[in-house]
Chain A
Amino acid sequence: MTAAARHEVCAVALAEAFRGDGEILASPMGILPGIAARFARATFAPDLLMSDGVASLVDAGGAVEGWLPYRTVFDTVWSGRRHVIMGAAQIDRHGNQNLACIGDPRKPKAQLLGMRGAPGNTINHTTSYWIPSHSRRVFVAKVDVVTGVGYDRAAALGPRAARFHELRRVVSDLAVLDFATDDRSMRLVSVHPGVTVAEVVEKTGFPLSFVEPVPTTRIPTADELDLLRRVIDPRGLGAKEVAS
């Protein structure tokens, strides 16, 4: 079997975000997060619930197991029984995310998706992020609009209002990051095989915490690669989201 490609390392790193989540709704936004959630369900997180992207809950075998119209999605968000992986046009060192627009939101240079569900997601349940192109354009000192709430904003709300806020991990095409620092700022957890710490630091627009030596992101096992290639992503769609 050929060695793990970068997108396969990313898929398993994203899947690891769901470890231990139990019987909650996994909502992956994007192709590789979707592969990751299905991989997690097929291995170490078998109880995850997943939508077909329309209005049904579909089990690992493809059987419809429930009705999930948007109204029920919102109820699930506010109940907290959900873990979303979102993207970000911008993200800062506290994990504030911007999906809405670039520039002044009253007259943006580039209108993007808007608020969508990001404010409600981040204040109500666990959130992770997938950044397919790690650069200073995305990892910025200050986001233009806060759609998803970061740790500094959550802390300012006080412990009661922010008690359901959790940013679990950020996976990029270069590295795994999290917020397990004293001040809840972003930390470099591991670099993907073939990536240097210097490259990640250089492509991040704010100071990153890390402790040397920074480990290498775990490489999928032969069994995991076989599952990814044969069952989870036989058409190789995950490769399209990551420049190799």
Chain B
Amino acid sequence: MSDKRITADDVVAELRSGMTLGIGGWGSRRKPMALVRAILRSPLQDLTVVAYGGPDVGLLCAAGKIRKLITGFVSLDSIPLDPCYRAARQRGDIEVVEYDEGMLQWALYAATLRLPFLPTRAGLGSDVMTLCPELRTVRSPYDDGEELVAVPALELDAAICHLNRADARGNAQFLGPDLYFDDLFLGAARRRFISVERVVATEELLAAGSVHTLRIHRGMVDGVVEAPRGAHFTECPPDYGRDEELQARYAAAAADPAAWNAFYQEYVA
């Protein structure tokens, strides 16, 4: 059995400028921040990032790493809007493809299943269709003839996610209330990397949670990074909640170069 344990810098070494990178989690919840910080310290650039965005997206925007973002939203949850993302958008720094949240799930699921698209009503009549002119509709081949949005498969060059536990082979466990769409980010990606709070023996996985928590198995993972507090300052229950104090400092620092420098030195550098 292969031991897939690697470091955050090993993950970065597998990435290339211009890649399409999926980032798991949701808003300011269970984001792979240790891996994001490694990307921030690297020379990588021109990334197309796919995420239910939080401070991962904000920080990558602030560092000029993102060329294009495909998302349903960017939010810090307890702070509704991410100031770094807002500033990048308002300067016109990045191209953004804004989907309905459910459409983004469908795009990743289609890629996971190797289908060209999946149909849905979500998006019809809204400006998702006008702002994303590449989107097509499809007509049901059955008697109903209904016209639906054909959400195209969104293949990722790589995906990064943070889970609570894994063994050295990449069998991973979420212990919080929601997997979000981490399985689909990994499913849609050619190269799949996870960071975890703790690497444990395979036999120990079921001590922490029921078999239902083992939603990511080793066939879905190429590399495992042990990164205690690797989602901090986003939440990673039950290991820790969101560090609201640090998140507030991040948000406030965005408008003040000196404060930003101090925050960045402490959190990223």
Residues of A participating in the B interface, judged by any CB pair closer than 8 Å = 54-56, 67, 69-71, 74, 77-78, 100-101, 105-120, 122-124, 145-149, 153-154, 156-158, 160-162, 164-165
Query: Nearest Cβ in chain B — how far from A159, in angstroms?
Result: 11
A-B CB proximity, top 3 nearest = A120-B122, A55-B177, A119-B126
The closest CB in chain A to the CB of B146 belongs to A160
Interface residues on B, range: 35 or more
Contact pattern, B 20-41, Cβ under 8 Å of A = 1, otherwise 0: 0000001000000000000000
The closest CB in chain A to the CB of B128 belongs to A119
How many residue pairs, one in A and one in B, have C-beta atoms under 8 Å apart? 134
Which residues does chain B contribute within 8 Å of A119, judged by CB atoms?
A: 100, 103, 122-126, 128
Across the interface, do A156 and B100 meet the contact criterion of CB distance under 8 Å?
no
The closest CB in chain A to the CB of B124 belongs to A123
Across the interface, do B102 and A114 meet the contact criterion of CB distance under 8 Å?
no
B92: interface (CB < 8 Å) = yes
Instruction: List residues of B (37-80) whose CB comes within 8 Å of A's CBs.
Output: 71-75, 80
Across the interface, do A123 and B122 meet the contact criterion of CB distance under 8 Å?
yes
B239: interface (CB < 8 Å) = no
Instruction: For B121, give its contact among A74, A114, A116, A124 (CB under 8 Å).
Output: A124
Across the interface, do B122 and A78 meet the contact criterion of CB distance under 8 Å?
yes
Q: A115-B72, A120-B100 are in contact. Are A107 and B125 (CB under 8 A)?
A: no
Across the interface, do B125 and A153 meet the contact criterion of CB distance under 8 Å?
yes
Across the interface, do A105 and B127 meet the contact criterion of CB distance under 8 Å?
yes
The closest CB in chain A to the CB of B179 belongs to A69
Across the interface, do B81 and A109 meet the contact criterion of CB distance under 8 Å?
no
Contact pattern, B 81-101, Cβ under 8 Å of A = 1, otherwise 0: 100011001111000001111
The closest CB in chain A to the CB of B95 belongs to A106
